[in-house]
Amino acid sequence: MKQTLSELMRMSRICRMIFATCLGSFILVLFYFQIMRRNPFVDGCCRKGSRNALRELYDPTQPELSGMAVLHQARRDQVVDSCRVYSASSHKRRVLTPGDLKHLVVDEDHELIYCYVPKVACTNWKRVMMVLTGRGKYSDPMEIPSNEAHIPSNLKTLNQYSIAEINHRLKNYLKFLFVREPFERLVSAYRNKFTLKYNSSFHKRFGTRIVRRYRKNATQDALLNGADVKFKEFAEYLVDPATQRDGPLNEHWQTVYQLCHPCHIHYDLVGKYETLEEDANYVLRLVGIGDSLRFPSYAKSTRTTDVMTAQFFSNISSHQQIQLYQLYKLDFLMFNYSTPSYLRMDY
């Protein structure tokens, strides 16, 4: 009798546990659908779908994607050919480490890897990647403050994975980057980091060092604050062998070759700043979300132009111009940018 009563009590406890589990599951399902109903963006924009951007790029099913596929094949070929020439002429052989991959942002849901290059619309691209990876947290890229887009923890980068996970993603995810005419990017970086008052951290970190090394009879204020660095001094700093010995250049004026390693990583898409919106929206169409998410427009009135770049380069010597060209030569060649007409190469 006691055994039967004990078994009944045990069965009763099991039934109560099963009931509680079922009830909890039911509540979770109800909660999930409430969230989905409140946030239709989760359903409409950036959920992971059956579409594979990598497969769509190399075997487009939509006619309007075919013409762009041909263009990007030509850009890939240009990079491969330049890397082959460079490899043949260079005795340096290098194997990438996870530390080299900190600029490669990963979107697991859409199987994308984006290598960000500062001064090539990277703030807006980071905003877009936050929308893509946010699973409904964000819907409009421009609602994300620019400083929030640059918080490292908001996006996952490839160096955070194991070696096996890195290799899997490099093989199976669509990899893309955006580039810009190298000297326009350089002048843009100079204008942003050394001529605007709010960038005092750059003035202190780099400006004071540049003034101390390259300005004769510098004032105490200039030595202390480094807030008035001239482009000629900045150019002198970049080509100085001592700068190379100090370590890698800051990401804002480091070469794309060193930031994204295009001779070691096969990029499927090379977008250009000069055709930014067209190329960016092509990426989004490949992913299958081009109808619900568009790349933000940028302010053309403030951008650094070719004319503006020529003016800055007119203030430095022919020797410095040649040295700077040698520093960024691979970026010119790989991404098919012609030698600027304003350069004085007769030194």
Residue 244 lies in a domain: yes
List the alpha helices (DSSP H) in 39-62. Answer: 40-44, 53-58
269 occurs within a structural domain: yes
Q: What is the pLDDT along the chain (347 residues), one digit of tens a residue?
A: 444 545 545 555 655 655 555 545 444 333 333 433 333 333 446 655 556 888 888 887 777 677 888 999 999 999 999 999 988 777 666 789 988 999 999 999 999 999 999 999 999 999 999 999 987 788 899 999 999 999 999 999 999 999 999 999 999 999 999 999 999 999 999 999 999 888 899 999 999 999 999 999 999 998 999 989 999 999 999 999 999 899 899 999 999 999 999 999 999 999 999 999 999 999 999 998 877 898 988 766 678 899 999 999 999 999 999 999 999 999 999 999 999 999 987 65
- Please tell me the pTM assigned to this model: 0.83
- What is the pLDDT, as a whole number, of residue 211? 96
Amino acid making up residue 64: E
Structure tokens at 162: 């194991």
Number of domains in the chain: 1
| Pair of tokens at residue 104 | 């490669």
Instruction: Confirm whether 38 is domain-assigned.
Output: no
Give yes or no for a contact between 271 and 71, defined as CB atoms under 8 angstroms apart.
Answer: no
CA nearest neighbour of 43 among 139, 112, 130? 139
User: Which residue from 205, 211, 249 is spatially nearest to 230, judged by alpha carbons?
Assistant: 211
Q: What local confidence, expressed as pLDDT, does residue 9 receive? A: 53
**pLDDT number for residue 299:** 64
pLDDT value for 75: 97
DSSP one-letter code for 47 = S
Specify the pLDDT at position 333.
97
At 339 the pLDDT is: 96
Report the alpha-carbon angle 39-51-263, nearest 5: 115
pLDDT of residue 27: 42
In a domain, 312, yes or no: yes
Residue 42 lies in a domain: no
Q: Report yes or no on 144 lying in a domain.
A: yes
In a domain, 100, yes or no: yes
Whether residue 287 lies inside any domain: the answer is: yes
- Structural domain boundaries, residue 111: 53-335
What's residue 303's pLDDT? 84
End-to-end CA distance of the chain: 108
pLDDT at 2: 44
Give the single-character DSSP code of 100. Answer: G
